[in-house]
């Protein structure tokens, strides 16, 4: 019996009790969500629903809990029910009901852990969004790992998610970028406000390969061509770096498109904000009254000289997400973007949306890696490419995803490169590889999954392992709802620990010449179920699940 199935039965019992007492309290499936007791002596599952409904029913929680316990005790698969404290209901399943989960997990495969908890939400998830004027660095690396993992858990929870990369390919920075490439092609020093580094020289070589006659063109044409070709080369490198990091984007949105056309998307955005009554003219400039939505000051959207501000592009971009049908937008931004929160919230409010409901801005903290060296190509940053080559995709992605985004983070490369249990990613991957080794050994010993008797999974470590496996769907949904994929990583480590303890106590293959018994085949189901859940968890983190280590 899965926790979801038990919760559904309890909901029926609660609703029947409410109806019998002519109560008007509304109870949802969330109200009967089950928790694992910290003390295993308190049973397999605990419910606090009695504390939630007692007051509306005009009774005390313990009396309500006692009444509910009578009905829960009659549910097939429930061995015993106890009422504890002020009204907590502790439920113990019989071995067969608890063990049936192992077979169910194997049969569900990759679908186990998914739900429809966030069904109906169409989410635009924007992260990384680096300037296409240089390689990705360590800050982008953290957001790439977290953003991609967040997208995966949101999809697992039933949301319709689009991963989006906003390409900052407009403005003077692109002119400076093009001038830097052209200067490198000519063998000249980097211009003022330009981009230094070997990578610019490499881009210049690439541009000359694509356009051998570049230096024979007039300066204006040469600059435009160097800027465009260098941009395309650098953007492709960014895409390749992210692909190697197991990060895929559904949409690459170019800022330049917001400035194109007459009227442009930015012109139309200003008109739409004006229609909502939040735009005014003052001092020859056009302003948005963002203070109406918690901003510390109103924002200029168009200067007196007729030039739009960055705020104008932000507004047009936000509205483009709305126009594409996204009823929820999530922005993942770096630690230096705190001021951006009020701006985006204000744009949402000024466009007629709910700033508290329709948009989220998550701010991440800095990350450092002991001993990491500045890029030889870029000179002043630590590159994603270098980190990946040094530590590997799995160690880097797992380590970055196992901490909350808002916590500063320093990683120890010596730990991440160890093949020992104090390296979290190795610990989890080794557990998965061990489940595969056990399956191979079982096959060689003649153990198969032809036999399954859930009642045989009665060892204490089996009860603990089954309880951990049962938690996975709740953990995934919680990680999605709270935007905290690190919960999946920490869960995987706990599951790996429960599996290793079970492995030390329960054999899947018979010893010596002993015959194969039903318990061996049943334990093989449990072994394979654990491997499946570890695989599903690692996939949500974008990390490989090796079959051998």
CATH number of the domain where residue 11 is located: 3.30.1360.70
In a domain, 159, yes or no: no
Q: Is residue 200 part of a domain?
A: no
Task: Tell me the whole-structure pTM to 2 decimals.
Answer: 0.92
Has residue 263 been placed in a domain?
Answer: no
State the Cα–Cα distance between residues 10 and 38, nearest whole angstrom: 21
Please check whether residue 472 lies inside any domain of the structure: yes
Question: Is 225 among the domain residues?
Answer: no
- Decide if 425 is inside a domain: yes
| pLDDT score of 42 | 86
For residue 113, the 8-state DSSP code is T
For the CA atoms of 38, 464, 96, 6, the dihedral, rounded to the nearest 10 degrees, stands at 40
**Cross-strand pairs, 125:** 163, 330
Residue 40 has pLDDT above 80, yes or no: no
Average pLDDT estimate for 125-147: 95
Q: Domain boundary at 66, 93, 120, which?
A: 93
Q: Alpha-carbon distance 345 to 343, whole Å?
A: 5
- Which pLDDT belongs to residue 545? 98
Q: Which helix (H) or strand (E) holds 277?
A: none
DSSP 8-state symbol, 306: S
Q: CA–CA distance from 277 to each of 124, 199, 240, 290 (Å)?
A: 26, 48, 44, 11
Asked if residue 1 has pLDDT above 80, the reply is no
**Integer Cα distance of 127 and 140 in angstroms:** 9
Task: Identify whether the C-beta of residue 408 lies closer than 8 Å to the C-beta of residue 365.
Answer: yes
* pLDDT confidence bin for 446, thresholds 50/70/90: very high
393-401 vs 486-505: helix axis angle to the nearest 10?
A: 110
* Spatial CA neighbour of 197 closest among 375, 348, 353: 375
For the stretch 202-216, pLDDT in tens is: 999 999 999 999 999
The b-or-e profile of 88-118 (16+ CB within 10 A means b, else e) is bbbbbbbbbbbbbbbbbbbeeeeebbbbebb
Residue 41, pLDDT > 90, answer no
Question: 500 lies in a domain?
Answer: yes
Question: Would the pLDDT of 36 be above 90?
Answer: no
Distance CA 516, CA 447 (A): 6
Domain-located, residue 503: yes
- Provide the CATH number for the domain around residue 501: 1.10.730.10
Rounded-to-5 percentages of helix, strand, coil across the chain: 55, 10, 35
CB-based burial label for 335 (10 Å; 0-12, 13-18, 19+): middle
Instruction: Please give the residue range of the domain that contains residue 502.
Output: 419-540
Contact call for residues 48 and 37 (beta carbons, < 8 A): no
- Residue that finishes a domain, picked among 46, 62, 93: 93
User: 5, 28, 10: which is closest to 64 by C-alpha?
Assistant: 10
Q: What is the pLDDT of residue 176?
A: 97
Phi, psi (rounded to 5 degrees) for 286: -110, 130
Domain-terminating residue out of 62, 93, 124: 93
Total domains in the chain come to 2
> 87 pLDDT exceeds 80?
yes
């Amino acid at each position: 019996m899965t926790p979801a199935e038990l919760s559904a039965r309890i909901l029926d019992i609660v609703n029947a009790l409410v109806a019998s007492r002519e109560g008007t309290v509304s109870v949802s499936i969330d109200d009967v969500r089950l928790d694992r007791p910290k003390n295993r002596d308190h049973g397999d599952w605990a419910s606090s629903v009695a504390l939630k409904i007692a007051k509306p029913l005009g009774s005390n929680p313990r009396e309500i809990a006692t009444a509910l316990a009578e009905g829960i005790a009659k549910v097939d698969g429930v061995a015993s029910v106890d009422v504890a404290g002020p009204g907590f209901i502790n439920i113990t399943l019989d071995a067969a009901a608890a063990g049936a989960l192992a077979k169910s997990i194997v049969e569900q495969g990759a679908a186990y852990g998914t739900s429809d908890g966030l069904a109906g939400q169409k989410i635009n998830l924007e992260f990384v969004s680096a300037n296409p004027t240089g390689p990705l660095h360590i800050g982008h690396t953290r957001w790439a790992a977290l953003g991609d993992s967040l997208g995966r858990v949101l999809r697992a929870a039933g949301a319709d998610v689009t991963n989006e990369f906003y390409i900052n390919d407009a403005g003077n920075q692109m002119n400076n970028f093009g001038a830097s490439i052209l200067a490198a092609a000519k063998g000249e020093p980097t211009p003022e406000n330009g981009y230094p580094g070997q990578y610019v020289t490499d881009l210049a070589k690439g541009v000359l390969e694509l356009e051998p006659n570049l230096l024979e063109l007039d300066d204006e044409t040469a600059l435009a061509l160097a800027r465009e070709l260098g941009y395309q080369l650098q953007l492709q490198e960014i895409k390749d770096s992210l692909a190697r990091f197991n990060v895929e984007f559904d949409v690459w949105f170019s800022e330049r498109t917001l400035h194109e056309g007459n009227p442009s998307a930015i012109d139309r955005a200003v008109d739409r904000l004006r229609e909502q009554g939040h735009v005014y003219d003052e001092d020859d400039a056009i302003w948005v009254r963002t203070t109406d939505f918690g901003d510390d000051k109103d924002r200029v959207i168009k200067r007196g000289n007729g030039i739009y501000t960055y705020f104008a592009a932000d507004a047009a971009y936000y509205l483009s997400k709305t126009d594409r049908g996204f009823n929820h937008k999530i922005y993942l931004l770096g630690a230096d973007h705190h001021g951006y929160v009020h701006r985006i919230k204000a744009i949402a409010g000024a466009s007629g949306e709910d700033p508290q409901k329709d948009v989220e801005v998550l701010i991440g903290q800095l990350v450092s890696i002991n001993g990491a060296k500045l890029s030889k190509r870029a000179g002043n940053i630590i590159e994603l490419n270098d980190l990946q080559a040094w530590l590997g995709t799995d160690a880097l992605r797992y380590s970055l995803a196992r901490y909350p985004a808002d916590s500063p983070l320093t990683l120890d490369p010596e730990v991440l490169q160890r093949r020992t249990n104090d390296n979290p990613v190795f610990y989890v991957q080794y557990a998965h590889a061990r489940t595969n080794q056990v399956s191979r050994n079982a096959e060689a010993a003649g153990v198969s999954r032809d036999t399954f008797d859930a009642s045989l999974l009665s060892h204490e470590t089996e009860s603990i392992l089954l309880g951990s496996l049962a938690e996975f769907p709740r953990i995934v949904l919680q990680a999605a709802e709270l935007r905290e994929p690190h919960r999946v990583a920490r869960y995987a480590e706990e599951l790996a620990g429960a599996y290793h303890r079970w492995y030390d106590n329960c054999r899947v293959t018979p010893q010596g010449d002993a015959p194969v018994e039903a318990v061996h085949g049943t334990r093989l189901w449990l072994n394979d179920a654990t491997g499946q859940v570890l695989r599903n968890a690692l996939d949500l983190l974008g990390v490989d699940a090796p079959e051998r280590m």
